[in-house]
Chain A
Amino acid sequence: MDDIPPYPPIDPTTFDLIVIGTGLPESIIAAAASTASKSVLHLDPNPFYGSHFSSLPLADLPSFLSTHSTSPSSPRPHSSEDSNEFSVLDLSTRPLYSSIDISCFSPDLLDQNSRKFNLDVAGPRVFFCADKSIELILNTGANQYMEFKSIDATFVGDNKGNLLNVPDSRAAIFKDKSMGLKEKNQLMRFFKLVQGHLAGELDVKISDEDLQSPFVDFLNKMGLPPKIKSFILYAIAMADYDQEDTGVCRDLLKTKDGIDQLALYNASIGRFQNASGALLYPIYGQGELSQAFCRRAAVKGCIYVLRMPVTALLVDKDSGCYKGVRLASGQDIFSQKLILDPTFKVTLPSGSSPPPPLQAKLPFFSQKDDRGKIARGICITATSLKPDMSNFLVVYPPRSLFPEQATSIRLLQIASNLAVCPPGMFVLYISALCDGDDQGKKLIHAVMNTLLTVPPINSESNAAVQSETTESGCAVQDETAESSSTGPSDPGEGKPTLLWSALYNQDLTLGQVDFICSTPMPDGKLNNDYLIDVAVKLFKKIYPEDEFFPQTSSENPEDDGDGDVSPET
């Protein structure tokens, strides 16, 4: 960060709100605050929008990940000099990614095309046609900056490499070839029960007792066979943890929540006329979403400065209250409120003890989040996992790949028609919740070994392997290769060959609403609803008097937006 070009000074120097980081929650808050007529300065140390939600060219992804995987270098001495009025608290970044493995098996091919890739850092991530993100996009008019395409299908995978179509609608159940007649009948009846319940039909009302019970118990009570249960729990309700093993399940889905998920899924199907399924993906990648809100904010007067790291916080010496930030350019900018992206941590001024008012607030900065991790993987291939399909989601329910698999693994294949890669290539995003690096690697490798041919890592070949944490990666890779070889083991036959992969684990820090508001990291969910909830909460916290994106016109935004958000044909 020493090659920072000279910065022109920012004018004015006082704002209502400073937002640091252009990730999704920050961008939404910046847009909402601008809409509420606040003066907002939105900063990002990166030369691009989106921070941890961005979509990056192939060549830029490894450096971005590794930048955020190391502890900060020693604090710059000049920044910690207190002025007369303020204590200066150095800001540094904390490592968010660990165990990064970048493997390249086809350097030439990829080098030529590096800029044609838009790789989501926080993938796999999609929209449900009726979810909160889409509502927000329509309400705010952010849809004018984005285009979407429909995800063709959802599959459930097994350890033999089979992909079973998820019968998620009446038409899909009818068309399905893998289910028996009895199963079709049971599943459809269950859907009808849920629809009837949601529509408030009295004779099919699900009792409160059932609604409070675990969803899996309710499915058992309905007599649904294991296969269908698994479809509903993991591929429609998108449960993360093994719902049938309370030992490993950290998030046992209640019937009520399960039903809500089904309702969301159901409302998503057919919401837009030219979207065939429930899911959408933005053209040019998920990074577009943060950028769309930034544009929305800019239209309302928000000032954007990229490539501008923030080096320190300025706090009132007496009260310990936040006053402003010191930029890498040396300029001090002041504001009432501050929103910080989750990368930052505060280092205490060396040598001097902080003033007492500040001391009480320090636990916030030193607090270590222990929310577990999420393992992510990005793979590039030159053939689709399914010959006749480009964009689809695959879910591997818990225990489907190996007995100790405690969480769902999700894989999203996106093709070049969504402008995330050059023609003829496919990007696979894989993710799973995990406790530690080893476990995470094992989960991602299990999927890769099932679906892909991984060329041997040969020191004489061109394969360039960078491994940050060599103690885990390779060993686990071998182990899972063995465990998954129980399936039809003719590796290479028909399986797409891996051209490039990036595997990394990401910390799951959550947003903080405290002394300073900080936003959460990308979560482990498939869509952005949780992040939007947090953004709304943060906004309400800092501006309790203001409305979050007030309706500007009396028009029904849904009618208005239908044409705009619906995917390209």
Chain B
Amino acid sequence: MHGRPRKAPKPEDEAASTAKAQKLRALQTQFFSFHHSKIYTKETVELSAKLLEINPESYTAWNYRKLAVEHYLSQPDCNPDTAKSVLDDELRVVESALRQNFKSYGAWHHRKWVLSKGHSSIDHELRLLDKFQKADFRNFHAWNYRRFVAELMNRSEKDELKYTEDMIYTNFSNYSAWHNRSVLLSALLEKKAEGFLSKENVLPEEYDFIHQAIFTDPDDQSGWFYHLWLLDQTVTTDHPLLVSTWPAHGSDVLLVEDRCQNSSSFSPFTTLLSDSGSFPIVLYFNQPVEGVSSSTVVMECRFNKNEDLLWEPLSVSNLQTAQVWVAHLKFPTSELDSSVKISVGYTKEIISTRGSLYSHPSTFSFKVHVQPVERDSSQVSVAENILWREENFKVYRAQSEESIPIASFDHLSIRNDHESTASNWQTEALAKEVECFRELLSLMDCKIGKLTLARLLMAYDAMSFPFANKLVHSEEVLELYNDLMKLDPTHHRYYKDEHSLVLLQKMTSSKESLLQHCFQYKDSVSSAIGKPICLRLNNLSLSRIRAFERLLWVQILDLSHNELESIEGLEAMQLLSRLSLGNNKLRSLTALEPLRKLKSLRVLDISYNQIGDHSIDTTRYLCSSPLSHSVGSELNNDESVINNVALINYWEAFYMFKDLNLNRLDIVGNTIADEKFKSVLVRIMPSLKRLDGELLD
């Protein structure tokens, strides 16, 4: 029961519980001996009932009873009547166990099991539930069981929805009731039941409903959860959409094989330096999808065959689901200029994790120009040499007619055509919510109100973004998060993360703001034109990063002097060849996992982080362990390569760097980076030419 203070046990209570434990132990010993010898007589089953009455959590006893029931039911003289009476006995035992502890998992589960045998009357179940839900109206076990019973008796979702309403009217501080409401509404909407044809009709009423709770008692959190669910229902589109690609639609891409001089007039934004003779095509969806392949995505060009194109999900887990997919095209060798056309959703097999079909086929095309290779061995590549020093960069001034990736992204207009009709009611709903929460905040200072307003404003901006073309409210949202960090220090880190993400979205939202962060490497020997741009997002106290869909073009990225603990999502930036993560708060090598997907990465700076500071890596559970997983077997196979080193101690380093083709790594300033570790790194990465600035042999 909620709201009851804990009391320290009195001596007599303790004595009583000792006596109880003794009795229980005796019972248990007896019970186990019966269980092990598979004795299912009336007496032994009765004993298990006694045990369960004292301790409903004794899962073994429940299982024993299940076996006993199966035993009875399989007897030759078993008829429907005896079966029913056996099962009714079970229901009685469960009921008395629940009276002892109405939150016993084992008991509720056993009841489900008995009922699914199909011999018992279900009508009694709702009455029983009413009793339990009255005793504790948010007992989630009872609610869970209620869903089971409702389904079993084919009770209509509308009736159940009405029930949640009644419970909410009794006391709206009820997570379980609100949750059940969201479950039922989802089901009704999916079925398109009468009166629940579209979200457009249902959600506004739900918003009205939840407002009553939120305004009546803004301190009650259960309502906020439901509001969050509604917001999610409002902003998420059912169908996956393609939001961004590289190369962008209509762009001219200059492909330059690395180590070559060039004096092209192409924009540095679309000049790709590559040393692998291939370039990536990146598809960025609005949600994780599966089924991207050469049959669902068709590429037409003269220098590669569609069937040769291998689409890979960019996901740190090994699932075949990802928000970003990549394929690599070989540089054309015969033709210097050629065009590529890509149709996404050619056949209808791309589906979201929620099971919705990608149903808006879109096509984008771009032109590629290849710079003829002029080898000059004396020239040292910029890629190896970049020094992340302030004085080495100068602000990039774009040529007036130059195509900036942001601009071309706007032209992409992948989503406009099919989103405009749908988003009317959504924008309206969000605008209404924004107004509503401004009113709430005018009445009182309220943390969750501020947070919700911030979320609403961002959702509103995102919704109207393709048309308004800027984040109108980002300043206000940043201010709200700043406020929240002060008001609610307990959740400082969460607000900080949100603040970072909004800041990034704001910086990448327009050409003007993005250009302020575009720099050119001064030291470049060759002419500035044609040399890639460095995006510098340093010194912004970012704790998280996002907005990758607008940064797919970036080849040089400076994220140094921030507060990053994670670089989740960075794997989307497939063109990255030089990256600085120096002076951040990365705490482990496994935090660098997204880098494993960056095949073009040559220069990496992770100096002055906290790698190795913490003996226990709290993120490790996200990463496969050397003992249980493929990494371990790889270790064994490669043992001959790296003998003499107890590699098992460095499996993380091995796992992280083995597949990276780095030329230069800076790792100084991390606890982990002692001499021994560095020597391991050198062995793991034969391609490495410089480690912490020092030229290797």
Which residue of chain B is the closest to A188 with respect to CB atoms?
B216
Q: Write out, one digit per residue, whether chain B residues 164-193 have a CB within 8 A of any chain A CB (1) or not (0).
A: 000001111000000000000000000000
Q: B212: which A residues are within 8 A, CB to CB?
A: 174-175, 181, 184
Q: A185: which B residues are within 8 A, CB to CB?
A: 215-216, 218, 440, 443-444
Q: B211: which A residues are within 8 A, CB to CB?
A: 181
Q: Are B169 and A186 in contact (CB under 8 A)?
A: no
Q: Write out, one digit per residue, whether chain B residues 195-228 have a CB within 8 A of any chain A CB (1) or not (0).
A: 0000000000000000111011110000000000
Q: Which residues 391-447 in B have Cβ within 8 Å of A in the complex?
A: 436, 439-440, 443-444
Q: Are A186 and B170 in contact (CB under 8 A)?
A: no
Which residue of chain B is the closest to A185 with respect to CB atoms?
B215
A170 interface contact, C-beta 8 A: yes
Q: State the interface size on chain A (CB cutoff 8 A).
A: 12
A205 interface contact, C-beta 8 A: no
- Per a CB cutoff under 8 Å, which of B171, B215, B444 touches A184? B215
Q: Are A170 and B216 in contact (CB under 8 A)?
A: yes
Cα A173 to Cα B212 in complex, Å, equals 8
Cα A181 to Cα B214 in complex, Å, equals 9
Residue among A174, A181, A186 with max Cβ neighbours from chain B (10 Å): A174
Q: Are A173 and B216 in contact (CB under 8 A)?
A: yes
Q: A109: which B residues are within 8 A, CB to CB?
A: none
Q: B218: which A residues are within 8 A, CB to CB?
A: 185
- Per a CB cutoff under 8 Å, which of B170, B217, B439 touches A188? B217
Q: Are A182 and B215 in contact (CB under 8 A)?
A: yes
Q: Write out, one digit per residue, whether chain A residues 169-192 have a CB within 8 A of any chain B CB (1) or not (0).
A: 011011100000110111011000
Q: Are A170 and B215 in contact (CB under 8 A)?
A: no
Shortest CB–CB separation between residue B54 and chain A, in angstroms? Answer: 27
Q: Are B169 and A171 in contact (CB under 8 A)?
A: yes
Which residue of chain A is the closest to B173 with respect to CB atoms?
A170
Q: Are B172 and A171 in contact (CB under 8 A)?
A: yes
Q: B216: which A residues are within 8 A, CB to CB?
A: 170, 173-174, 184-185, 188
Shortest CB–CB separation between residue B618 and chain A, in angstroms? Answer: 37
Cα A181 to Cα B439 in complex, Å, equals 9
Q: A175: which B residues are within 8 A, CB to CB?
A: 169, 212
Q: Write out, one digit per residue, whether chain A residues 150-173 have a CB within 8 A of any chain B CB (1) or not (0).
A: 000000000000000000001101
Chain A interface mostly helix, strand, loop or mixed?
A: helix
- Per a CB cutoff under 8 Å, which of B170, B215, B436, B444 touches A171? B170
Shortest CB–CB separation between residue B206 and chain A, in angstroms? Answer: 15
- Per a CB cutoff under 8 Å, which of A171, A174, A182, A189 touches B439? A182
- Per a CB cutoff under 8 Å, which of A174, A182, A186, A189 touches B213? A174
- Per a CB cutoff under 8 Å, which of A170, A173, A186 touches B443? A186
Which residue of chain B is the closest to A167 with respect to CB atoms?
B216
Q: B436: which A residues are within 8 A, CB to CB?
A: 181
Q: B213: which A residues are within 8 A, CB to CB?
A: 174
Residue among B172, B215, B436, B443 with max Cβ neighbours from chain A (10 Å): B215
Which residue of chain A is the closest to B436 with respect to CB atoms?
A181
Q: Which residues 254-289 in B have Cβ within 8 Å of A in the complex?
A: none
Interface size classification for chain B? 10 to 19
Cα A171 to Cα B211 in complex, Å, equals 14
Which residue of chain B is the closest to A276 with respect to CB atoms?
B170
Q: B439: which A residues are within 8 A, CB to CB?
A: 181-182
Q: Which residues 271-305 in A have Cβ within 8 Å of B in the complex?
A: none
Residue among A170, A175, A181 with max Cβ neighbours from chain B (10 Å): A181
Q: Are B443 and A182 in contact (CB under 8 A)?
A: yes
Q: B172: which A residues are within 8 A, CB to CB?
A: 170-171, 174
Cα A173 to Cα B216 in complex, Å, equals 7
Q: A170: which B residues are within 8 A, CB to CB?
A: 171-172, 216-217
Cα A174 to Cα B216 in complex, Å, equals 6
Which residue of chain A is the closest to B213 with respect to CB atoms?
A174
Q: Which residues 172-228 in A have Cβ within 8 Å of B in the complex?
A: 173-175, 181-182, 184-186, 188-189
Which residue of chain A is the closest to B171 with respect to CB atoms?
A171
Cα A182 to Cα B171 in complex, Å, equals 20
Cα A445 to Cα B245 in complex, Å, equals 79
Shortest CB–CB separation between residue A451 and chain B, in angstroms? Answer: 27
Which residue of chain B is the closest to A183 with respect to CB atoms?
B215
Q: Which residues 425-484 in B have Cβ within 8 Å of A in the complex?
A: 436, 439-440, 443-444
Cα A189 to Cα B215 in complex, Å, equals 10
Q: B169: which A residues are within 8 A, CB to CB?
A: 171, 174-175
Cα A173 to Cα B169 in complex, Å, equals 10
Shortest CB–CB separation between residue A203 and chain B, in angstroms? Answer: 14
Shortest CB–CB separation between residue B119 and chain A, in angstroms? Answer: 33
Shortest CB–CB separation between residue B506 and chain A, in angstroms? Answer: 31
Cα A174 to Cα B169 in complex, Å, equals 7
Shortest CB–CB separation between residue B138 and chain A, in angstroms? Answer: 14
Cα A382 to Cα B180 in complex, Å, equals 43
Cα A186 to Cα B442 in complex, Å, equals 12
Cα A184 to Cα B171 in complex, Å, equals 15
Shortest CB–CB separation between residue B529 and chain A, in angstroms? Answer: 59
Cα A492 to Cα B500 in complex, Å, equals 67
Shortest CB–CB separation between residue B641 and chain A, in angstroms? Answer: 67
Q: A184: which B residues are within 8 A, CB to CB?
A: 212, 215-216
Shortest CB–CB separation between residue A220 and chain B, in angstroms? Answer: 17
Q: Write out, one digit per residue, whether chain B residues 342-383 have a CB within 8 A of any chain A CB (1) or not (0).
A: 000000000000000000000000000000000000000000
Q: Which residues 117-176 in B have Cβ within 8 Å of A in the complex?
A: 169-172
Shortest CB–CB separation between residue A450 and chain B, in angstroms? Answer: 29
Shortest CB–CB separation between residue A244 and chain B, in angstroms? Answer: 24
Q: Which residues 86-114 in A have Cβ within 8 Å of B in the complex?
A: none
Residue among A171, A182, A184, A185 with max Cβ neighbours from chain B (10 Å): A185
Cα A98 to Cα B101 in complex, Å, equals 64
Cα A188 to Cα B172 in complex, Å, equals 14
Cα A186 to Cα B440 in complex, Å, equals 10
Q: Write out, one digit per residue, whether chain A residues 406-446 have a CB within 8 A of any chain B CB (1) or not (0).
A: 00000000000000000000000000000000000000000
Q: A188: which B residues are within 8 A, CB to CB?
A: 215-217
Q: Are B170 and A189 in contact (CB under 8 A)?
A: no
Cα A44 to Cα B436 in complex, Å, equals 64
Q: Are A189 and B171 in contact (CB under 8 A)?
A: no
Q: B443: which A residues are within 8 A, CB to CB?
A: 182, 185-186
Which residue of chain B is the closest to A176 with respect to CB atoms?
B212
Shortest CB–CB separation between residue A204 and chain B, in angstroms? Answer: 13
Q: A182: which B residues are within 8 A, CB to CB?
A: 215, 439, 443
Shortest CB–CB separation between residue A569 and chain B, in angstroms? Answer: 13
Shortest CB–CB separation between residue A277 and chain B, in angstroms? Answer: 13
Cα A173 to Cα B220 in complex, Å, equals 14
Shortest CB–CB separation between residue B364 and chain A, in angstroms? Answer: 46
Shortest CB–CB separation between residue B298 and chain A, in angstroms? Answer: 53
Shortest CB–CB separation between residue A415 and chain B, in angstroms? Answer: 23
Shortest CB–CB separation between residue B312 and chain A, in angstroms? Answer: 50
Q: B170: which A residues are within 8 A, CB to CB?
A: 171
Residue among B172, B217, B436, B439 with max Cβ neighbours from chain A (10 Å): B217
Which residue of chain A is the closest to B212 with respect to CB atoms?
A174
Q: A181: which B residues are within 8 A, CB to CB?
A: 211-212, 215, 436, 439-440
Cα A170 to Cα B440 in complex, Å, equals 17
Cα A174 to Cα B436 in complex, Å, equals 16
Shortest CB–CB separation between residue B495 and chain A, in angstroms? Answer: 24
Q: A186: which B residues are within 8 A, CB to CB?
A: 443
Cα A439 to Cα B171 in complex, Å, equals 44
Shortest CB–CB separation between residue B378 and chain A, in angstroms? Answer: 74
Shortest CB–CB separation between residue A165 and chain B, in angstroms? Answer: 13
Closest 4 CB pairs of A and B: A181-B215, A185-B215, A174-B216, A184-B216
Beyond the given pairs A171-B169, A182-B443, 14 more chain A to chain B contacts, judged by CB atoms under 8 angstroms and listed by A's residue number, are: A170-B171, A171-B171, A174-B212, A175-B169, A175-B212, A181-B211, A181-B212, A181-B436, A184-B212, A184-B215, A184-B216, A185-B218, A188-B216, A188-B217
A-B contact pairs, 16 of them (CB 8 A): A170-B171, A170-B172, A170-B217, A171-B169, A171-B171, A171-B172, A174-B172, A174-B217, A175-B169, A175-B212, A181-B215, A182-B215, A182-B439, A182-B443, A184-B215, A185-B444
